[in-house]
Chain A
Amino acid sequence: MIKTADTPRTWNETLDTPSSPGRSRLEESWRLFRTNRLALIGLGIFLIFFCVALLGVFLTSGSNPVFDPALVRLEEKLRPPLSRPNLDALTPGKVPTLGVYLFGTDDLGRDIFSRMLQGAWVSLTVGFVAVGLSVLIGIAMGGLAGYFGQARVTFGHLLACLLLGMGSTWLVAGNKWLAIVLLLTGGALLYISLQDTRSGRNPAKENLWLSWRRLPIMTVETLIMRVVDIMLCFPSFFLILTVVAILPASMYNIMIVIGLTSWMGAARFVRAEFLSLREQDFVTAARALGVGKLRIIFRHMMPNALGPVLVSATIGIASAILTEAGLSFLGFGVPPPHATWGNILSDGKNFIFDAPWLTFIPGFAILIVVLSFNLFGEGLRDILNPKLRKRS
């Protein structure tokens, strides 16, 4: 039953409210999700991992942790999983908790179970933050490029971005005052320029001094796509190597760097989808109804464009964790002796025949995380795009 309006409502809300009795959108989504068993399982497994990771941080940190990941027992090197420790050779302080090497030991005799616990949080965070960052940036850039394609970028915009960029570099380099001045000027200029675009003021009345900033340089789309091109031109390994060598080797820097160097794929996909979606009827309808631009982009068009983005996000998680492994092989990445799934893997490279569990266990863990996220992602996609739902 269509709700009749007693008080005037905006069109936005009318469009949103479903015409079925009494369910909000969120409830609808949740109902759908609940029936999709696989998606639930995916979410469940993922949450379990998340909790284990958090628990792991507590259980393995401090100077006398419950599970000690850094304890070296050279005599017990390369023991297979579920093997008992040689109690004669070990001092009591070195016997593993639980009395057995749950996942075996590595080539320095450290307990793999403890190391996996310690590494879970780092690896999960690296995977999700890096991918999250790259997806967010990719969607934003792709969406803006795809929708605003023909909008002109003026000189003022560019100058503002340049100032902001310089300001942030100086901030990183430590020169605070200059950075603040630059950031403020840049920000102000950006705000004024954006206001101009929005209001479309008549240039004839403009003072000559200020009119230069209206000079159109290129379209939004060109700008963003060129930035994507430039980023694509640099092999990511090379960029990561440079940035990681300059900045201190902390976990957060690595996450940010991996995120900042892998958003280009998502951006290109989203832009491509948007180019075709833009001409579709529902978008024209929404525009005709006066729905705000940003809302159209993120609320109406984006859910339809997310398909390939979700796939690349799932793959990206595994890839980010493995990139961290590759980096730790080169010596960047989290400083030792902190364990991550990635560096357990790369340490095990030499012992594939003698100790295959060093490769299997972290690989298997990564696989489960990725699979569970994939199941969850498919469920998510069904919610966002009704056309993809199974015909029941």
Chain B
Amino acid sequence: MTVRRILILAPTLLALFLLQSYFWVPTYEEQTRGNPARLKEYISASIGDASILNPILSADSASSQIESFVFEGLIDRDKDLRFRGRIARSWDITEEAYFYVNEGASIPGLGKADAHEVIRFLKGVKGSPPPGSALGKALEDIREVSLIPPREYQVTREDKLPGKQGKAGKIRFQVHAPARIRLVLRNVNQDLFQDLERLLGPDYFTGFNGLKYLDADLRLDNRVMETYARRILPATEHNPVILFHLRPGIKFHDGTLLTAKDVKFTYDAIMDPKNLSPRISDYEPVKSVEIIDPLTVKVTYKRLYSPALTTWAIGILPEHLLNRDALRAEALRRGEDPKKFSVRMSSFNRHPVGSGPFRFEEWKSDQFISLRRFEDYWEGPPNYDHYYLRIIPDNLTQEMEFYAGTVDDYAVQPHQVKRLESDPRYQSFSGTSFGYTYIGYNMRRKPFDDPRVRRALGMAIDVDKIIRYVLYGQGERITGPFAKQTDYYDAAIKPLPYDPEGALKLLAEAGWRRNRDGWLERQGKRLQFTLITNSGNDLRKAILAIAQAAWKQIGIDVRTDLLEWSVFIQERVNKADFDAVILGWQMGIEPDLYQIWHSSQTHPYQLNFVGFKDKQADDLIIKIRQEYDHDAQVAYCHRLHEIIAREQPYTFLYVGKWTAILDKRIVIRDVDKKGNVVYRKITPTKTGSYTFYFNKWIKLPEVPTFAQDG
């Protein structure tokens, strides 16, 4: 019967057709070993796709990965974490300091002095400075003293108008600025004015009142006027200056030379509000970026800000492709409104042009991004021909592709590390990540306001076991808020011991005793709270269960909850509506912890959501931020580390280790002094980046024998 035959034939034919396609597909062998071009390609796997390939706009890791190859910044860090110049050949850090002449103050040994007299005085003392003292050193550093004569100017500020129930409006100020003295220094000195006070008298600066030089067009009350006076006419001002000297002859991928105007353009693009760059706050302290000549850029800052230098690792954009004329031309071509067209909308973001070692080739959405090597790279072209980023969202399939040889590296999970380390085909290296995982306690709520309770909670959890079994050894204990590999971290501070008995003792001191059912109780109330974390992270889920079980052992009734990331952050963390959270920080090398630990950052939507407030810590944080001398900074950091470790606002758990597994045949190819080709093993650098010498990597047909040294 025909119907029956159709019913049987249709699926069989379909199945046969589909199955026969197997014979057309190249096997893995053909793709890898049988394909010599494969050796010249480096294929990396990523779980998510990139979003915007523009260093000033992107915020996700896949985009950053590509940008690190396509673009290049003025500086970056070398294998010992020191700054090294890339586009910038060298740089100088100096300072311009300003202070207003305080005609009412009496200078010891001089009496009341006007501007010229002060300058003459300073130059005189500078000629024969008191040796060895801080003041002496400060005076030595002064290269030049000059006068800014008094001037009149106007300033407008937007603020709530007085008396009009908080309506915002403009207030105009007439400023009759007095004479100002400008000091150009050889080094940045955050204590300059404290040192100068020895010379000019203890209230030379503090006694300066800008109020009498300021007129407002509206009547404002005294306190408000004083605040404005302090802002518009500050007694002292530090303006650190970085002067970058660029390397000549650096080209963009389209052949254009890179000059200072590209640097300035990058800065302007970041600060342009239309572009909505997430990096604006990094560059907010910048006062101005000036082009001195095509290979020299001068960056002046409004105030002391030591993380400044790091921010210049950002990729430099080509001005000729993204300036106003280019954007307007593109807008007209696409039929968009030129006035609203910003860098964010440009198709440059899907087809970037930079000055890095690899040039952009193609991007197939959610499939792969391909780059090919840039022959005119200033340091010499990289050894690899092609770099591919394949998007493979599933971890297991990534692993399979890696085994098959069609992917050179992927995100290795801790439990896979052991299996792969013992495999002779692969080399592995690991290093500590930049960041840590912790349990944060909301110090605004009882019982977390008592440091003994916080310590006890930390002592009840066996973190070493977590590292051993949950992380498979791929982690290390951490005791404080700095990156463990840097010297800002004080390695002498010991982690909390695993001591449930000790925890019980501490809790008893705080008034918590076991009741009849075994739960801890104080004044009739049980010790009970809720621990939350975000879903989608297996490690945190495991810690949730482990912490709950550990605390149950010592009699604390802990509920747990898993929330979706958005909801977790927006509804609980940002509104500080939680008891305890499990979270992690990913950080850079800079020790600036203002946003996380300063007491002013404890409001909703800010990052000090645990509510940590300590005066000493606040002072140290500000000092660290303004200190340009490395050793002094380290000393401050160690003290801050000690305070935080003592107070335990977090239970610091661990810092994860990253492990990279590569085919053993990938090595560094270098040319030694005699011009011979030499192969060296890849070793990871302190930055956690083992791709440091990536441009020198090459994949050989067989595992080479290594040179004796190197």
Direct contact of A and B (CB under 8 A): yes
Binding site for B on A (CB under 8 A): 63, 70-72, 74-75, 77, 107-110, 245, 249, 329-332, 335-337, 347, 350-352, 354
CB pairs A–B below 8 angstroms (27 shown): A63-B517, A70-B545, A70-B549, A70-B552, A72-B545, A72-B546, A72-B549, A74-B465, A75-B465, A108-B542, A109-B469, A245-B567, A249-B561, A330-B564, A331-B534, A331-B563, A332-B564, A335-B560, A336-B544, A336-B548, A336-B561, A337-B544, A337-B549, A347-B538, A350-B395, A350-B538, A351-B415
B93 at the interface (CB under 8 A from A): no
Q: Are B536 and A331 in contact (CB under 8 A)?
A: yes
With a CB–CB cut-off of 8 A, which chain A residues contact B544?
336-337
Binding site for A on B (CB under 8 A): 395-396, 413, 415, 465-466, 468-470, 517-518, 534-536, 538, 541-542, 544-546, 548-550, 552, 559-564, 567
With a CB–CB cut-off of 8 A, which chain B residues contact A109?
469
Closest CB pairs A-B (n = 6): A331-B535, A74-B469, A331-B562, A72-B549, A335-B561, A74-B465
* Cα separation A337 to B564 with both chains bound (whole Å): 16
With a CB–CB cut-off of 8 A, which chain A residues contact B545?
70, 72, 108, 110, 336-337
Closest chain-A Cβ to B531's Cβ sits at a distance in Å of 10
Q: Are B538 and A70 in contact (CB under 8 A)?
A: no
B517, B548, B549, B550: most-surrounded residue (chain A CB, <10 A) = B549
Closest chain-A Cβ to B211's Cβ sits at a distance in Å of 53
- Contacts A108-B470, A331-B535 aside, 6 further interface pairs with beta carbons under 8 A come to A72-B545, A74-B469, A108-B545, A110-B545, A335-B560, A337-B548
With a CB–CB cut-off of 8 A, which chain B residues contact A337?
544-545, 548-549, 560
With a CB–CB cut-off of 8 A, which chain B residues contact A352?
396
Task: Count A-B pairs with CB separation below 8 Å.
Answer: 68
With a CB–CB cut-off of 8 A, which chain A residues contact B549?
70-72, 337
Closest chain-B Cβ to A47's Cβ sits at a distance in Å of 33
* Cα separation A352 to B394 with both chains bound (whole Å): 14
Q: Are B542 and A335 in contact (CB under 8 A)?
A: no
Known contacts A74-B465, A74-B466, A74-B470: A335-B562 contact under CB 8 Å: yes
Q: Which residue of B lies closest to A351 (CB)?
A: B415
Q: Are A354 and B415 in contact (CB under 8 A)?
A: yes
A74, A75, A110, A330: most-surrounded residue (chain B CB, <10 A) = A74
Q: Are B542 and A330 in contact (CB under 8 A)?
A: no
* Cα separation A77 to B541 with both chains bound (whole Å): 15
* Cα separation A332 to B518 with both chains bound (whole Å): 31
Known contacts A63-B518, A107-B542, A350-B538: A75-B469 contact under CB 8 Å: yes
Known contacts A63-B518, A74-B546, A245-B567: A336-B538 contact under CB 8 Å: no
* Cα separation A245 to B563 with both chains bound (whole Å): 9
Closest chain-B Cβ to A359's Cβ sits at a distance in Å of 13
With a CB–CB cut-off of 8 A, which chain A residues contact B563?
331
* Cα separation A72 to B545 with both chains bound (whole Å): 8
With a CB–CB cut-off of 8 A, which chain A residues contact B536?
330-331
Closest chain-B Cβ to A67's Cβ sits at a distance in Å of 15
Q: Which residue of A lies closest to B558 (CB)?
A: A337
Closest chain-A Cβ to B550's Cβ sits at a distance in Å of 8
Closest chain-B Cβ to A202's Cβ sits at a distance in Å of 57
Closest chain-A Cβ to B539's Cβ sits at a distance in Å of 11
Closest chain-A Cβ to B636's Cβ sits at a distance in Å of 38
Closest chain-B Cβ to A257's Cβ sits at a distance in Å of 15
Closest chain-B Cβ to A350's Cβ sits at a distance in Å of 7
A75, A109, A337: most-surrounded residue (chain B CB, <10 A) = A337
With a CB–CB cut-off of 8 A, which chain B residues contact A336?
541, 544-545, 548, 560-562
Q: Which residue of A lies closest to B562 (CB)?
A: A331
Q: Which residue of B lies closest to A110 (CB)?
A: B545
Q: Are B560 and A77 in contact (CB under 8 A)?
A: no
Q: Which residue of A lies closest to B415 (CB)?
A: A354
* Cα separation A74 to B550 with both chains bound (whole Å): 11
Q: Are A108 and B546 in contact (CB under 8 A)?
A: yes
Q: Which residue of A lies closest to B566 (CB)?
A: A245
Partner of B564 from A74, A331, A347 at Cβ < 8 Å? A331
